Amino acid sequence: MRQVYVNGEFKKEDEAKVSVFDRGLLFSDSLYEVTTVINGKLIDFNNHMKRLDRSMTELKFKKLLNHLDILIFHRKLIELNNLKEGMIYLQVTRGVADRSFDMPKDKIEPTVLAFTQEKKIIDSESAKNGIKVMTLDDMRWKRCDIKTTQLLYASMAKTEATEKGFDDAWMLREGYVTEGSSSNAWIIKGKIIMTRQSDNLILSGITRDVIFKCAKDLGYEVVTKNITLPDAQSASEAFITSATACVMPVVKINASQIGDGKPGKFVTALREEYIKQALESSI
Ligand code: PMP
């Protein structure tokens, strides 16, 4: 049984509690971060914390946590659960208040919870074979840049894709690819790597940022631009990025095979470079 973290305490997973009046539960008035763990160490932790700060500022949450305290309980969770490879999920809600659409005028104490989940990160089957994605209308709200737990449409999109025999969904808004259900979307044409510019319609991924650097280190050019579905389907390679997927090749978009239907050489090299840099900088 796992030990989880709730508001400063470690509890057995079946003993941890949050209030039924928590605004995270009632309104998805709530933020999260997922930090990957490899060899028992945290990947890109500081950047995840910077993004959490930004999300908290955007939603005007009461500030209570410093990064060192968060690092300490992340490490404790790794130790208590003997986590070697997987992730730590961290959620911060605005807190507990009587149910009202009007947010409490005085800032209330955020609820903080975190838990570990095991997952194969490096030796993932999907990374070896690549994944198939289908496109769906992006029906999410227009503040996708804030990492809220308002994830129902992303969850519906992923479910629809898997029910139809795909691994994931890429979403389209006004004819352009925004992102995956829980990842950033990329294509490669020749030696140019492309992804959508970061704006309010996508989450600016922590992995995405690191990939800009890895791509440059490998001598590739990265361009941020709007990508249409025909652009994506005629790419020589395609991939997604996220903390737990790292760099994951995409080998099919709807009915179109990408490249020869196997993970291509640029994506494979990027994945290796990303994992190398991630391990070197893990804490
Ligand atoms: N976009 C969305 C919608 C996501 O949910 C995620 C992962 N949570 C990402 C992009 C990738 O972000 P990161 O690289 O920080 O995991």
Q: List pLDDT tens digits, range 231-281.
A: 999 999 999 999 999 999 999 999 999 999 999 999 999 999 999 999 999
> So what's the pLDDT on residue 147?
98
> So what's the pLDDT on residue 252?
98
Determine the CATH number of domain 125-281.
Answer: 3.20.10.10
Domain boundaries, the chain: 3-118, 125-281
Cα 273 to middle of ligand 1, angstroms: 19
Domains 3-118 and 125-281 in one fold: no
Cα 105 to middle of ligand 1, angstroms: 31
> So what's the pLDDT on residue 65?
81
Ligand 1 nearest-atom number relative to CA 51:
15
> So what's the pLDDT on residue 58?
97
The residue annotated as part of the active site, out of 62, 63, 105, 147, is: 147
Residue 179 Cβ contacting ligand 1 at under 6 Å? yes
* 246-253 and 168-173 beta bridge pairing: unpaired
Cα 205 to middle of ligand 1, angstroms: 5
CA distance 83 to 57: 31
> So what's the pLDDT on residue 191?
86
| Alpha carbon nearest to ligand 1 atom 1, residue | 183
Residue 207 Cβ contacting ligand 1 at under 6 Å? yes
Residue 90 Cβ contacting ligand 1 at under 6 Å? no
Right CATH number for 3-118 from 3.10.450.50, 3.30.470.10, 1.10.260.40, 2.40.50.140?
A: 3.30.470.10
276 is catalytic: no
* 111-118 and 131-137 beta bridge pairing: unpaired
pLDDT < 70 stretches in the chain: none
| Alpha carbon nearest to ligand 1 atom 4, residue | 182
